[in-house]
Structure formats: structure tokens, C-alpha cells
Amino acid sequence: MYHEILVPVDLSHLDKLVKALNTAIDMAKHYNARLHYVTVTNSTPGTAAHNPEELAAKMETFAREQGQAHGIQTDYKVLESVDTAVELDEKLIGAIKDIQADLVVMASHPPGMGDKLHLLRSNGAEIVKHTDVSVFIVR
């Protein structure tokens, strides 16, 4: 049913992605699908890496270790952005098309005041609106 599963990843917040990552791994095993770990970064230093090249090396290691630990096929992609807050959805949608993903598994942010005031957008909702792939939001 699914062959190419895209999983947005922020290496500096892996502790908040555990359920989403485990769900993606379970689905990849069930459908014998490949997991594509995707991160979007800007060129300035961040908590996960000092530059996009260092982040790419860390993503490669992460994807390889996940594949070996769980017996699944994995790949990774690092996408650069001038402003991740503005371009995140656009970059993820582009990656979905490039990878030809047929499923996206992603973590939800914890609900809070920003949601009640409608100040925060839903990245998952944007992907649903602008692609034809299934999206599994894990909370």
C-alpha cells in the first residue's frame, strides 16, 4: 500500500518525536516501505549543527542507524531555507514530490494557547491541502 514514507525530523528535538518516529518505523516494517527522513534548515548555526553540511552528516548517520537498528530501508534529505518558519511547508511539499512519497508521518505540536487563538498554522494541514498523499499526524 505504501512504498515511500516521508518523516520530517528535527535532530535537536528527537525527544519530542519518539512516537512519530516509532509509528513511521512500524508502518515501514508493515508495508516494507522506505523511510525518508527530511529536515529543513537555514544556513545559520543551530542547536543540531553549525552548518548545513554538518547537519547532513548527522542526518546520514541518523538514517543509517535507524535503518540498521530496525531492519528497514532509510534515506535522508537536508533542505536549505532562507527562513524555515516561512518556507517549511513549501520545502516539505517539494520533498514529497521529489521523493514521490505516498505517506507522510509527522509529529504534531502540543496544543496550547496559540491554537486556541488561531495564531499557529498546522504544517500537517498545509500538506494535506497542497498534496494528494496521506498524512498521519502523531500526537
Confidence band for 118, pLDDT divided at 50, 70 and 90: very low
Confidence band for 122, pLDDT divided at 50, 70 and 90: confident
Q: Which CATH superfamily is domain 4-138 in?
A: HUPs (3.40.50.620)
Query: pTM for this one?
Result: 0.89
pLDDT in tens, 32-52: 999 999 999 987 778 888 888
| Closest C-alpha to 8, from 114, 129, 96 | 96
- Residue 115, pLDDT score: 44
70 vs 46, higher pLDDT = 70
Task: Report in angstroms the alpha-carbon separations of 66 from 21, 60, 76, 127.
Answer: 10, 10, 11, 25
136 vs 47, higher pLDDT = 136
